[in-house]
């Protein structure tokens, strides 16, 4: 098969060499990330249910989950959630086969409850959340495309990826994972709702961290302040291992101690008190929001992992970019990959697959054009294997 693969030189300055860089990571407890996580967990549960019954993943998309923030009254040493968080699972699914109705709603609800319990450790899911499911039957036209023998794209869309991550991008990604992972184990005052924003100006990197504190584990103002300082110190030590640049860490900059303003929450989540969330408004498929880089606005979480190119191509683009970069490490400085689908066209044969490469000086570009084409071709040929990885939860989407 002769795929339409385009490899071109990119003459712009690599991000790492640019003077200014902004990077954002919304943590796993951010309302938008919770929406992404719920959508993806519901999709995986439906996939597993379909596979168990029919040996294949049937048509569905659950990428429209919405979160409406509740109301709470946190206070040092305690507090309460006054009005529950409302979560609406929205999307389309195959609800019956050959006249037999499927337990799609039960499957979706169980997956959502399980995800919340696993992710939000200080949230009483039984009492502080109202979970609703409005997943219904999908479009007949799209389902018709899905059920053909050869897998066809169910949308005209594109996926975007890049490699490698810059130093600032790596710091941003790993810092949130560190806070919500290893650091949380020794600092239980920290909630899961964390946002890390990095600003690099030349040789200076500033990390601004918003971290919801769990009020029941913070007895007083003095303890709160000590937790903020401990968080700063731990992050500075951790992030400092990734860079030799000057690093500054700020935490909860909206606090005003003179006015008794503190980032306190009952559950460690801002969605308990008015913050809403939606699928696709947060991190891209590589886990970051990167305004200095090419990005797709397509939400990856919750889309079906078989024919929805909005999911497959965003994940695959990042893989392609990374593989091409590794092939030419030292000679290739940066890779941007983009894949464009056409509705009704086989997913392994996109309308166009495009890699934009920034080379080091005096490099044999023709050689790498051939190698990059081979990488792209191989990844597209094996795109069907990506479905199994996604269903197994081995691939991140946010």
Q: Cα–Cα distances in Å, from 271 out to 60, 71, 179, 220, 290? A: 27, 8, 19, 23, 24
Q: How many whole angstroms separate alpha carbon 306 and alpha carbon 160?
A: 18
Q: Grade residue 147 by pLDDT with cuts at 50, 70 and 90.
A: low
| The pLDDT value given to residue 139 | 43
Report the percentage of the chain scoring pLDDT > 70.
Answer: 97
Domain annotation covers residue 22: no
CB within 8 Å of 84: residues ≥ 6 apart:
70, 127, 128, 129, 130
Q: What is the CATH number of the domain that holds 101?
A: 3.30.300.10
Asked if 139 and 242 sit in the same domain, the reply is: no
Q: Reduced to 3 DSSP states, what percent helix, strand and coil does the chain have, rounded to the nearest 5? A: 35, 30, 35
Contact 287, 32 (CB under 8 A): no
**Is the distance from CB of 398 to CB of 37 less than 8 angstroms?**
yes
Residues 219 and 318 in one domain: no
DSSP output for 32-57: HHHHHHHHHHHHHHHHHHHHHHHSSP
Determine, yes or no, domain membership for 21: no
Of 276, 303, 321, the residue that ends a domain is: 276
> Quick one: pLDDT at residue 100?
84
pLDDT of amino acid 10: 96
Phi/psi of residue 246, nearest 5 degrees: -70, 130
pLDDT tens for residues 329-367? 899 999 999 999 999 999 999 999 999 999 999 999 999
Q: What is the CATH number of the domain that holds 203?
A: 3.30.300.340
Q: Give Cβ neighbours of residue 238 (< 8 Å, ≥ 6 apart).
A: 174, 175, 178, 183
pLDDT in tens, 174-193: 999 999 999 999 999 999 99
Mean pLDDT of the chain: 95
Tens digits of per-residue pLDDT, 42-63? 999 999 999 999 888 999 999 9
Count of H-run helices and E-run strands, the chain:
10, 18
Is residue 160 domain-shared with residue 305, that is, in the same domain?
A: yes
The strand pairing partners of 250, in sequence order, are 208
One domain for residues 260 and 303? no
What is the number of structural domains in the chain?
3
> At how many degrees (to 10) do helices 365-381 and 383-391 cross?
60
Which residues constitute the domain of residue 199? 167-276
Query: What is the structure's pLDDT at 144?
Result: 53
* β-bridge mates for residue 100, sequence order: 97
Q: 139 or 68: which carries more pLDDT confidence?
A: 68
In a domain, 317, yes or no: yes
95 pLDDT above the threshold of 60? yes
Is 396 part of any domain?
Answer: no
Are 181 and 211 found together in one domain? yes
Could you tell me the CA-to-CA distances from 259 to 129, 212, 223 in Å, in that order? Answer: 31, 18, 17
């Amino acid at each position: 098969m002769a795929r339409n693969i385009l490899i071109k030189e990119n003459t712009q300055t690599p991000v790492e060499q640019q003077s200014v860089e902004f990077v954002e990571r919304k943590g796993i407890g951010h309302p938008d990330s919770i929406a992404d996580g719920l959508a993806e967990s519901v999709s995986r549960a439906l996939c597993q249910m379909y596979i168990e019954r029919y040996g294949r993943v049937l048509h569905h998309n659950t990428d429209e989950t919405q979160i409406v923030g509740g109301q709470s009254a946190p206070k040092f040493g305690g507090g309460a959630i006054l009005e529950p968080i409302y979560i609406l699972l929205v999307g389309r699914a195959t609800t019956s086969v050959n006249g037999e109705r499927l337990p799609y709603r039960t499957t979706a609800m169980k997956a959502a409850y399980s995800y919340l319990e696993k992710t939000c450790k200080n949230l009483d899911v039984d009492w502080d959340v109202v979970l609703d499911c409005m997943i219904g039957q999908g479009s007949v036209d799209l389902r018709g495309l899905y059920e053909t023998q050869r897998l066809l794209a169910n949308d005209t869309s594109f996926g975007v990826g890049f490699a490698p991550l810059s130093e600032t991008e790596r710091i941003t990604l790993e810092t949130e994972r560190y806070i919500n992972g290893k650091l949380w184990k020794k600092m239980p005052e920290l909630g899961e709702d964390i946002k890390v924003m990095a600003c690099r100006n030349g040789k200076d990197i500033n990390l601004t961290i918003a971290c919801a504190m769990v009020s029941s584990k913070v007895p007083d103002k003095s303890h709160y302040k000590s937790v903020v300082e401990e968080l700063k110190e731990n992050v500075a030590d951790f992030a400092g291992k990734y860079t030799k640049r000057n690093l500054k860490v700020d935490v909860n900059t909206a606090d005003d101690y003179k006015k008794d303003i503190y980032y306190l929450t009952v559950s460690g989540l801002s969605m308990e008190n008015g913050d809403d969330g939606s699928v696709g408004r947060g991190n891209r498929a590589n886990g970051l929001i990167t305004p200095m880089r090419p990005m797709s606005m397509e939400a990856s979480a919750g889309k079906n992992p078989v024919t929805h190119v909005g999911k497959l191509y965003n994940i695959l683009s990042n893989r392609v970019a990374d593989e091409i970069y590794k092939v030419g490490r030292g000679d290739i400085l940066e890779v941007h990959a983009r894949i464009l689908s056409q509705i009704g066209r086989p997913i392994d044969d996109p309308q166009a697959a495009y890699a934009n490469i920034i080379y080091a000086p005096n490099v044999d570009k023709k050689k790498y054009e051939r190698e990059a084409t081979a990488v792209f071709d191989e990844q597209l040929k094996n795109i069907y294997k990506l479905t199994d990885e996604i269903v197994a939860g081995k691939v991140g989407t946010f």
